[in-house]
Amino acid sequence: MTRVISDLPADVLPRGLAGVPVAATEVSDVDGQAGFYHYRGVDPTTFARTGTFEDAWYLLHFGELPTAGEREAFAAKIRAAMTMPPVLRDSLPAIAALGPPGSMDVLRTAVSAAGVAIGCRPWTEQDMPLTEAQMFTLAALTPVLTAALYRLARGQTPAGPSDDLDFAANYLRMIHGADPDAARVRALETYLILAADHGFCNSTFAERVIASSGADMGAALSGAIGALSGPLHGGAIDRVPSMLAAIGDVSRVESWLRDRLDRGERLMGFGHAVYRTLDPRNTVLREVAREIGGERIALAEVVERTGIALLNERKTDKRREANVELYAGVVLDYAGVPEELFACTFPVARMAGWTANLMEQIADNRIFRPAARYVGAPPR
């Protein structure tokens, strides 16, 4: 008998699937009421100021923080996977020319090309270790591609990674063509650790949907970048610095923010789909920003206080706070990441969580094929 989907009651249609579990995961989770998130049970804010990005990546994949020896071996494995296949290197100038430097769209295209170049095939038609190696290579290549695309767009030749540097330092090295100083690496490391994963967010869901059809790792990971690039998700990181620049001075904060809200626009760096209290990533990045100091940070703090007050004055159904993006730009700027690359630095970090999620999806796959309640014209 045909199931009449349009007879499903309206309450089975939560908009945006908000709060609806669609999979079981052991990778990471977010408790929006408590303002807490974790990777495999470990709170990343406890090691974000002191650990390395390799720690977060290793934890997300293997379920434990690495020992010193494991960290070193893992960092070496990442470095070894940072070599671009010649066919990809040769195609990169054309890909860089497709759009503005630092655009996530260009990076998404390059990751898709990288998937083809390293021979990604439907994971259902190849061995699991090969699929795992391919997703790992794509994750390791993401900072390489990001930096190379940026340099090519500026008429510079790509700069390779150094065998003596770890992931975060190598990312800065490949952007600038010179070894970075330790304080800047530390700031970047903190951001990368905090951004490595975040529960079943929009882009994670998107890549798992793609992989669930058996599609290859290049398809899933470039799709994840596509989802992340939207202004309501990771695309907000780009828009916060321009918001701060447009406000310009603390005297203009309230009128500027009010005006945006009066026009029905969203304040970038505020609100979250899950958090109903402080975003713990924002708390750590604000702390780093305060230590950096400067006029821009003072302005960001006034914007934060005023934005929260205005949002909660206008909408009282639930609490809204600032999110991870508000201080991310300030911290990345200090770290020496050019503003054009703020957006792409997000997927550079998130590849760690995305690939852990893909492993989980593949290990226990069923194709995602939800239903919709048909509300259109009756059959005729």
CB of 255 to ligand ACO, least distance (A): 16
Please choose, from the candidates 149, 152, 140, 168, the residue with its C-alpha nearest in 3D space to the C-alpha of residue 107: 149
Helix/strand/coil for 99: coil
Residue whose CB is less far from ligand ACO, 61 or 198? 198
Q: Write the CB contacts of 44 (distance below 8 Å, at least 6 apart in sequence).
A: 37, 38, 56, 193, 194, 196
Active-site residue identified among 54, 272, 304, 321: 272
Catalytic residue status for 272: yes
- Rounded Cα distance between 295 and 298, Å, is 5
Q: Which residues contribute to the site for ligand ACO (CB under 6 A)?
A: 232-234, 236, 266-273, 311, 315, 320, 323-325
Residue 123: CB minimum distance to ligand ACO, A: 27
Task: List the structure tokens of 195.
Answer: 């951004």
Nearer to ligand ACO, 91 or 323 (CB): 323
Distances from the Cα of 357 to the Cα of 14, 22, 53, angstroms: 24, 13, 17
Residue 301 or 325 with smaller CB distance to ligand ACO: 325
| Closest CB 15 distance from ligand ACO, rounded Å | 8
Q: How far is the CB of 262 from ligand ACO (least distance, A)?
A: 11
DSSP secondary structure, 157-204, as one string: PP----TTS-HHHHHHHHHHSSPPPHHHHHHHHHHHHHTS--SS-HHH
Q: How far is the CB of 311 from ligand ACO (least distance, A)?
A: 6
Which residue's Cβ has the minimum distance to ligand ACO? 271
Q: Which is nearer to ligand ACO, 146 or 323 (CB)?
A: 323
Q: At what angle do helices 167-176 and 182-194 cross, to 10 degrees?
A: 120
Nearer to ligand ACO, 153 or 201 (CB): 201
- The residue length of the chain stands at 380
Contacts of 49 (CB under 8 A, 6+ apart): 190, 284, 288
* Annotation marks residue 265 as catalytic: no
Active site residues: 272, 325
